[in-house]
Amino acid sequence: MPLPMNSRWIALLKPLALALLLGALLLTGCRRGSGQAADGSNPPSRTIENKGSDTMVNLALAWAERYQKLFPEVRISVTGGGSGTGIAALINGTVDIANASRQIKPEEQAEAQANGTNPVEFVVARDAIAVVVNPNNPVDELSIDQISAIYSGAINNWSEVGGEDRPIVRLSRETNSGTHVYFLEQVLRKGNKQDKTLFSMDTLLLPSSEGISAEIRQNPNAIGYDGLGYVTDDMKVIAVARDPQGPFVLPSAETVNSGQYPIARDLYMYTAGEPTGEVLAYLEWIMTPEAQAIVTDLGFVPILP
């Protein structure tokens, strides 16, 4: 049975044997450094760890898949968990890129800097947040004021907004979701930083976009909100107006870019400091027409003209 190759064992080798061993190791290292592993394959030079927004996870996965076909020497690991989770991982130094469907908070920025990290922001796409109901719901239009009143608990029955005499079932993403934070700040609080309005206590907090979609399909009393890329044909999208008088606008790439649709936002990637190497190359590719075409394919809004 061969002895383990530890320091005590090496110390017992004769000088000539040691020289031969080191030479063999050096030769092997040179061969692998040329781009091939011992089995002749081409291993990735490194893995880019990418984590965060559940809204962005399908887009991030699609980007990673396409990029790895173009550059098989680079591997990209994509996971969700929410914008807050991704930013926390960036602060802790466990990811290369954090995905976020909201901007980093001042307290997160301060925590990162205290930890020796300077987050750098990249806008990589745009998104409309669609307000959705069951297809059997006769309500077609809601103003921001009405949506805020529904989610804060001031309006509790569909008859109060032109619908049937049915109780409203409120659906929301969980608090760690960037979509939840954006909807709270820009819809419930209408962009007023002094406003302290909160979601009604009986709002159902769901962990994923898929959870909201499933509940909307089966519950005629439900209302939810989600990124436009997650809306399917078996859900009804509500036209939304900034003012009670209208105009009431449906979400689309055109109405987001024109500024007509009132519930739209940027989607972000954050790096710990200015990116370099493979991370920089990947972010530069994301800004290309090829990568932005994937944005359109998945129902989001590209940032290129």
Question: How many domains does one find in the chain?
Answer: 2
pLDDT at position 3 over 60: no
Instruction: State how far the alpha carbon of 217 is from the alpha carbons of 118, 137, 166, 223, 238, in Å.
Output: 43, 11, 16, 10, 15
Same domain for 74 and 136, yes or no, is no
Nearest in space to 263 (alpha carbons), one of 218, 228, 223, 222: 228
Same domain for 131 and 68, yes or no, is no
Q: Please name the residue ranges forming H helices in the chain.
A: 7-11, 15-33, 57-70, 83-92, 106-114, 144-152, 178-183, 209-218, 253-257, 277-286, 289-297
pLDDT at position 2 over 50: no
At 42, the pLDDT band (50, 70, 90 cuts) reads low
Q: Cβ(303)–Cβ(292) under 8 Å?
A: yes
pLDDT of residue 63: 98
Q: Quote the CA–CA distance of 255 and 263 in Å, as a whole number.
A: 10
DSSP state of 230: G
10 located within any domain: no
At 106, the pLDDT band (50, 70, 90 cuts) reads very high
Same domain for 279 and 151, yes or no, is no
pLDDT tens profile 15-30:
333 333 333 333 333 3
Same domain for 199 and 251, yes or no, is yes
Q: Quote the CA–CA distance of 183 and 190 in Å, as a whole number.
A: 9
Same domain for 215 and 287, yes or no, is no
Amino acid at 110: A
Percent of the chain with pLDDT over 90: 79
Measured in residues, the chain has a length of 305
pLDDT at position 32 over 90: no
pLDDT tens profile 233-277:
999 999 999 999 999 999 998 999 899 999 999 999 999 999 999
User: Which CATH number goes with the domain that contains 76?
Assistant: 3.40.190.10
pLDDT at position 58 over 70: yes
Neighbours of 223 (CB within 10 A): 25
